[in-house]
Structure 1
Amino acid sequence: MSSTGVHTSSASIVTDFKEITKVRLAVSVVFSSVAGYFLGADNIDFVTVFLLAVGGYFMVGASNAYNQIIERNLDALMDRTKNRPIPGGRMSVSTAFLIASVFTICGLVVLYIINPKTAMFGAISIFIYVSVYTPLKTKTPLSVFVGAIPGAIPFMLGWVAATGDFSIEPGTLFMIQFFWQFPHFWAIGWWLYDDYKKGGFFMLPTGKRDKGTAIQIILYSVWTVLVSLVPVFGVTDKLFLTPVAGVVILLLGLGMLYYAIRLYKEKTAQAAKKLMFASVSYITLLQIVYVLDKFIRQWI
C-alpha cells in the first residue's frame, strides 16, 4: 500500500512540475527556436541546437512559473486553471518561486554560452512576459499586443543563436510570429471567454465576442499571411523562399483565413476553437516549409 502511495506521490510531483513549467508550451517554443536556428545556420552545430532547446525550455518554464505565482488567486476562479499546482494546493509559492528562479538563471547561462545576444533576447522575453504582459491582462485588451512581443521572440531567437546577429532576417521571423499571435490568442480568448471573465481577464480587442473582434481577427490573419510571404520577393537578404514554397504558405494561410471568416459568420465558441487549432497548424507547418525550402534549395 505504501509503495503505491509513493508511486502516486512521485507521479503527482512530476505532473505538477510539468504543469508549473508548461512543458507542452515549451515544446512548441523550442520547435520555433530550432526552426529559426536551422534557417540561420550555415552549418548545423547540434551542440548549439541542444543548448538552444534546453535554454528555451528553461526560459519558458521560468516565465510560466512566475506567471502562475502572480495569478494564483485568479487561477483559482477559473475552471481551466483552478487545478494548477498552486491554486490546487499541491505546490507552495516558495517552491514555485525557487523553480522559476533556478530556471531563469540556468536559462540565461545556457543561452549566454551560445552567444550574449541570444541571452539578452531571452532575458527581454522573460521581463516583458512577467513584468508587463501578466499585470496588464486584467486591465486592458492591449495586453495581447504586449504579450505578442515575447511570444514572437522564439522564432527569431534561433536565427540569432545561429549567427550572433540581429538583422532583417530575424526581424522578419519576429514579425511573422508577432502578427500570428493575434488571431491565435483572440481565438482562445473567444473560445474561453466565459472562463476568462471569471478571472477578470480582458483578452478580446473590443472586450466582447462581437463583430468588431471578428473583423480584427480576419485583418490580423491577412497581415500574418502577407508578412509570411515577404521572403519570396528576395528583400530579406539570406532569408529567402522559393515561389513554390510561397504558394504552399499562401494555401496554408488561406486555410487559416477560412476559419477566421467562419468565426466572423458564426460567432460561436466552437468556431473560435477551430480557428485556434488552424492557427497552431499554420505556424507549425510554416516553420517546417521554411526549413525544408532552404535545405531543398541547398541539395538541388
Structure 2
Amino acid sequence: MKWSDFSKLIKLRLTFLVTFSASISFLIGSKVNGTIEWGSWVKLIIGGFLVTSAANTFNEIIEKDLDKLMRRTCDRPIPAGHMTTGQGLVIGMVMAIFGTYLLGSLNPTAGFLSVFSILLYAFLYTPLKRKSAVAVFVGAIPGALPPLIGYVAAHPKIDEIALILFGIQFVWQFPHFWAIAWVLDDDYKLAGFRLLPSGKRDMVSATFAFASTLILLPVSLLPTYYGYGGYYVGGVSLILSLIFMYQGFMLMIKRDIKSAKSLMYGSFLYLPVVQLMFLFDFLGK
C-alpha cells in the first residue's frame, strides 16, 4: 500500500489536527496534576492518532459507494480500487484496538471515551449525514472529545477545565463544519449529504454560521473568566473571535463561496492558536 493511499484512508490532515488538540489538553491536564510524564504524552499522541485514523477508516468503508460520486473523494483508496473493503476493515480494527489499548493504559476513562468516539462518529454521524442537518450536531460531539480525552489521560477527572476544553472545540465545529459544507455543497449533493442547516446555500444557513461565531466568543473567554487563563489567552481569544465573527457576518451578507472559504480558513487558524495560548498562559500561572 502506498503512503498516499494510507494518508487518504486516515484523512491525515484531520487526524493531525485532532491529535494536536488532544496533546495540548494532555499538557494542560499534566499541569493540574503537577508533573508532565513525557512518555505518557508520546503514548497519548500515538494512541490518539490511531483511534482517530480508525474512526476515519470506518467512515470511508461505510461511505465507499458515496465517495465514488464526489470529486474530492473519488480518489480515496477504497472507492478508487486501490484497497478492498476487507483490507480497510482489518487496518481500521488493528488501529482501533491498539489505539484504544494505549489510551486505556493511561486512564480507563480515556479508553472508554475513545471507543465511544469511534462508535458515535462512524456509526451514527456517518449515516445521519444523508438524512438530516442534525448530523452536524451529532458529529460535533466526537469531534470535541479529543481535548477531553487528552485532559483525562493526564488528570483522571472531568472537571471545569476539561469541560471548557470540550466546550470550546464543540462550539468551534459549527462555523467550521458549515463553512466547509457551504464551499463543498455541490459536491456533497452528489452523494446526498445534507449538512447545511437549511439544506442549501441561503440566508438561513449563513445566519446559523454567523450565530455560531457569536456563541463562540463568550465560550472562548471561559478560561479567563474562571481564572484558569490570564489576559493573554483572553486577549487573543477575543481578537480571533471578533475576526471570526466578522468572517461569519460577511458570509451572511454576501452568501458566496469566497466568504465561506474565508470563514473556513479562519477556522483552521482559530482553534490551534486559542488552544496554544490557553496552554502557554496556563503553564505560566
**Hey, which bits of structure 1, 4+ residues long, moved more than 2 A?**
none
2:121 to 121, 126, 129: 129
> 1:231 deviation in Å?
2.0
The answer to whether the 8 Å contact 2:232/2:277 transfers is no
| Bigger radius of gyration | 1
The equivalent residue for 1:3 is none
- What percent identity do the matched residue pairs reach? 39
Q: Secondary structure at the match of 2:219?
A: helix
> 1:168 deviation in Å?
2.0
The equivalent residue for 1:156 is 148
Quick one: distance in 1 between partners of 2:92 and 2:232? Answer: 44
The equivalent residue for 2:46 is 54
The count of corresponding residues between Structure 1 and Structure 2 is 282
The equivalent residue for 2:136 is 144
2:229 to 241, 247, 250: 241
Quick one: distance in 1 between partners of 2:114 and 2:216? Answer: 23
One-letter amino acid matched to 1:18: S
> 1:142 deviation in Å?
0.2
The equivalent residue for 1:230 is 222
1:33 to 14, 22, 28: 22
Structure 1: gaps (5+ residues): 1-11
Structure 2: gaps (5+ residues): none
The equivalent residue for 1:93 is 85
Q: Secondary structure at the match of 1:158?
A: helix
Which string of whole-angstrom CA distances, capped at 9 and with x for unpartnered residues, describes residues 253-272 of structure 1?
Answer: 11111111111111111211
Which string of whole-angstrom CA distances, capped at 9 and with x for unpartnered residues, describes residues 25-68 of structure 1?
Answer: 11111110011011111211111110110011111110111011
One-letter amino acid matched to 1:43: T
Quick one: distance in 2 between partners of 1:242 and 1:231? Answer: 8
> 1:226 deviation in Å?
1.0
1:279 to 253, 257, 267: 267
- The 5-angstrom pairing of residues 85-234 of structure 1 reads 85-234=77-226
> 1:23 deviation in Å?
1.7
One-letter amino acid matched to 2:180: I
Cα RMSD after superposing both structures: 1.1
Quick one: distance in 2 between partners of 1:280 and 1:98? Answer: 31
> 1:191 deviation in Å?
0.4
The equivalent residue for 2:258 is 270
The answer to whether the 8 Å contact 2:168/2:220 transfers is yes
Q: Secondary structure at the match of 1:144?
A: helix
> 1:22 deviation in Å?
1.6
One-letter amino acid matched to 2:28: L
Q: Secondary structure at the match of 1:73?
A: helix
> 1:15 deviation in Å?
1.2
One-letter amino acid matched to 1:86: I
